[in-house]
Amino acid sequence: MGKIENLDFKKNSLRKINSFLQNISYKNNKREFTVKNPRGEHAICAGLKENILVKINGHVGYYCGGMNQKANIVIDGNAGTGLGENMMSGTIHVKGNTSQSTGATAHGGTIIVDGNASSRCGISMKGVDIIVKGSVGHMSGFMAQAGTLLVCGNAGEALGDSIYETVIYIAGNPKSLGVDCIEKKITKNDIKKIENLLKQGNINKLKAINFKKFGSARKLYNFNIDNASDY
């Protein structure tokens, strides 16, 4: 390994390719890399630590870009379960669709999905910004704690179930809202935030005023004796 042209799954193993990308020295002048023939392999580009650009030509499997710090990852294809799981910073841009649990527990950075994200998008997210240009599946934003989920399409059932302080902006409609998730009034500050996210996602077709805002009613934060029979 060591030769940059060998970031090809036809020629090298996942472990070798990941290990190469994880150990790029900050002194290295080469900052752009292309991964070829990913063939849906799992955990591609997991644990990257440097501010590099990695382009992946094809579809990836589970947990692509997991635990990412600083790196910018562009996937020219679809991604499987848990894209950018527990990401800390950097960006991941998927040009296709993503499977369930996109951005699960991610603390920071930005995930952009050009297509749809399926169920449980942003589950337990802790500070990441997720921009989905299509729609999201059921239970998206489940127990989401911080950060922003912006959806240009619709959302499936039980959006934002048991949500904490994540803010959800959605241009379409949720099929239903989860427990303790309510629509909130859009403020000037929200408009600024949405405009910023639209800019990051390179979205021109929609304007900030097209979006509705959802968040926590904060009624689950403390135990309510009236709900005792529900447990």
Q: Which residues bind other proteins (CB under 8 A)?
A: 39-42, 58-59, 61-62, 77-78, 80-81, 96-97, 99-100, 118-119, 137-138
DSSP code of residue 109: S
Residue 151: CB minimum distance to other proteins, A: 17
Which SS3 state, helix, strand or coil, does residue 166 take? coil
Q: Nearer to other proteins by C-beta: 78 or 91?
A: 78
- 68 in Cβ contact with 109 (< 8 Å): yes
In the complex, minimum distance from the CB of residue 74 to other proteins, in angstroms, rounded to a whole number: 16
Rounded to a whole number of angstroms, the minimum distance from the CB of residue 9 to other proteins is 9
- Least separation, in Å, of the C-beta of 21 and other proteins? 19
Output 93 or 120, the one with its CB closest to other proteins: 120
Would you say 90 or 156 has its CB closer to other proteins?
156
Angstrom CA distances, 99 to 20, 29, 115, 226, stand at: 27, 34, 11, 38
Q: 177: which DSSP letter? A: B
Q: How many CB atoms lie within 10 A of CB 204?
A: 8
Q: Are 196 and 203 in contact (CB under 8 A)?
A: no
Residue 78 CB, nearest distance to other proteins (Å)?
Answer: 6
Q: How far apart are the C-alpha atoms of 59 and 203, rounded to whole Å?
A: 23
The span from the CA of 22 to the CA of 52, in Å, is 10
Taking the C-alpha atoms of residue 172 and residue 192, their distance in angstroms, rounded to an integer, is 19
Cβ nearer to other proteins, comparing 41 with 85 = 41
Minimum CB separation from other proteins for residue 38, in Å? 9
> What is d(CA 155, CA 149) in angstroms, rounded to the nearest whole number?
11
For other proteins, give the closer residue by CB, 159 or 194: 159
Q: Which is nearer to other proteins, 126 or 138 (CB)?
A: 138
